Amino acid sequence: MRVVIAEDSVLLRTGIARLLTDAGVEVVGEAGDARDLMRMVALRAPQAALVDIRMPPTHTDEGLRAAREIRERFPACGVLVLSQHLEEAYAVELLGDDASGLGYLLKDRVTDVAVLVDALRRVAEGGSALDPEIVAGLLSRRRRDDPLDALTPKEREVLQLMAEGRSNRGIADHLVVTERAVEKHVTAIFGKLGLPAGGEAHRRVLAVLAFLRG
């Protein structure tokens, strides 16, 4: 997997690059700001970009805007955004229209190389990866006429794990159930949310978006 890293802290950027390299990931570029990031994505054609949400010059949402631009201009490149703090609004904004090839993780996850590499692989393959803390926060907020009210508690749990970007196998392992049981729950979720027939990967993304909007 070919990856570029965008992080203005040289120490952190170098550390992440070393961790990924040791894990077998090919780091093909390192950038300190959004401009360098876009240039490297154009020149190096990575499969995924790991992007800090706050970069120069304003240290606000440069990474968020760069992520959207990458998905528009280079759809073959997935983007995993890193944030120092839990910012649900940014996560919803990032994934608001199409969660395919996008992910949002807290920087604390960087030290867990397996989690980081797994999230990068998900977005590189066109899936999504959402930090469990973000998912938990969104799940705790309810509103009237919630479109997810039709789901059973177990179906909501499965949808929550789908929102994190887990496969059916991964969900089954987490819930200690059979993969066939998960498939039945997923089919029920698709039906209750009224998702159109089509590729399962596409419908999973639509289900995640329904979860976020709910």
Phi and psi torsions of 56, nearest 5°:
-60, 155
Q: Is the pLDDT of residue 161 over 70?
A: yes
- pLDDT at residue 22, rounded to an integer: 95
Q: What is the mean pLDDT of residues 94-108?
A: 80
Here the contacts of 13-19 (C-beta below 8 Å, separation 24 or greater) are 15/110, 16/50, 16/110, 16/116, 19/110, 19/113, 19/116
Which amino acid is residue 139, in one-letter code? L
Q: Which tops the pLDDT comparison, 24 or 164?
A: 24
- pLDDT at residue 49, rounded to an integer: 97
2-130 and 142-213 agree in CATH topology: no
pTM: 0.70
> Which residues touch 139 (CB under 8 Å, ≥6 apart)?
156, 160, 211
CATH top class, domain 2-130: alpha beta
120 closest CA partner among 199, 7, 24: 24
> Which residues touch 48 (CB under 8 Å, ≥6 apart)?
1, 2, 3, 4, 77, 78, 79, 80, 120, 121, 123, 124
Q: Which tops the pLDDT comparison, 30 or 167?
A: 30
The domain locations on the chain are 2-130, 142-213
Query: What whole-number distance in Å separates Cα of residue 16 and Cα of residue 117?
Result: 11
Confidence of residue 68 (pLDDT cuts 50, 70, 90): confident
State the residue for tokens 């839990």: 86
Architecture (CATH level 2) of domain 142-213: Orthogonal Bundle (1.10)
